[in-house]
Amino acid sequence: SQTIHQWPATLVQPVGSPLSLECTVEGTSNPNLYWYRQAAGRGLQLLFYSVGIGQISSEVPQNLSASRPQDRQFILSSKKLLLSDSGFYLCAWTPAYGYTFGSGTRLTVV
Amino acid sequence: GESVGLHLPTLSVQEGDNSIINCAYSNSASDYFIWYKQESGKGPQFIIDIRSNMDKRQGQRVTVLLNKTVKHLSLQIAATQPGDSAVYFCAETYGNNDMRFGAGTRLTVKP
């Protein structure tokens, strides 16, 4: 079956520290993959999407970056976190219809 | 487009009443729409979808209505239950383009 895994579930990081969030998809090949951020009580903001290995498109300029080292792996990174990076980060992919989301990572930058 | 900078509108209903959540979409070329439900601390979950060649689609206790003339989408939940309390997002897309999400509506069900 097709599943999406995202970890960690929660993360508390100090300002200026690095970040690495990982997302993997099982049961499919060459999926379109997405990173979204959701600030508390607000809508979904598309950060990055990828249509294949090494192919990353950025929607919003910021201090975050994304990489796709393998077909079913999508990584969200930062070299130095800002307070404004706090939020709920969601990975998503596109099966036959719509998007399927991971369980999310709650990031708090302190 | 995405209304990510807005605070979520809220809807409060009594348990057992019907709920109607509305969404205005921006692209008249959009041909596929989805409603998602997001419970607190979880990722959005697919509820129901509709294509632009339809104006109504029904699921279990949910109905989606599409009015292409005014670019309006609604989600109706019959006999709302406490477990329906969540944030509901509409999403639109056309062709193979990326899906764009609305700001979301927070539904609270009072017992």
Summarize the confidence of residues B56-66 as an average pLDDT: 97
pLDDT recorded at residue B4 = 41
d(CA B50, CA B48): 7
In chain A, residues with a C-beta closer than 8 Å to the C-beta of B86 are: none
Contact A34 B98 (CB under 8 A): yes
pLDDT digits 0-9 by tens, B4-39: 444 678 999 999 999 999 999 988 999 999 999 999
Q: What is the pLDDT of residue B1?
A: 37
Percentage above 70 pLDDT, chain B: 93
Tens digit of each residue's pLDDT (9 = 90 or more) over A76-90: 999 999 999 999 999
B92's tokens? 């639109």
Give percent above pLDDT 70 in chain A. Answer: 95
Q: In 10 A of CB A47, how many CB atoms?
A: 20
pLDDT at site B3 = 41
Q: CA nearest A44 in B: which residue?
A: B4
Nearest to A41 among B8, B44, B100 (CB): B8
* Ramachandran area for residue A63 (φ above 0: left; ψ -120 to 50: alpha; else beta): alpha
Chain B residue at shortest CA distance from A37: B4
Cβ–Cβ contacts within 10 Å for residue A22, how many?
A: 16
Lowest mean pLDDT among A29-38, B67-76, B79-88: A29-38
Q: Which of B8, B43, B98 sits opposite A42 (nearest CB)?
A: B8
Give A94 or B84, the one with higher predicted confidence. Answer: B84
> With contact defined as beta carbons under 8 Å apart, do A41 and B10 qualify?
no
A/B interface, count of CB pairs below 8 Å: 65
User: Which has the closest alpha carbon to A34: B91, B85, B27, B106?
Assistant: B91
**Closest of B44, B33, B30, B32 to residue B105, by C-alpha:** B44
- Overall average pLDDT of the A42-68 stretch: 88
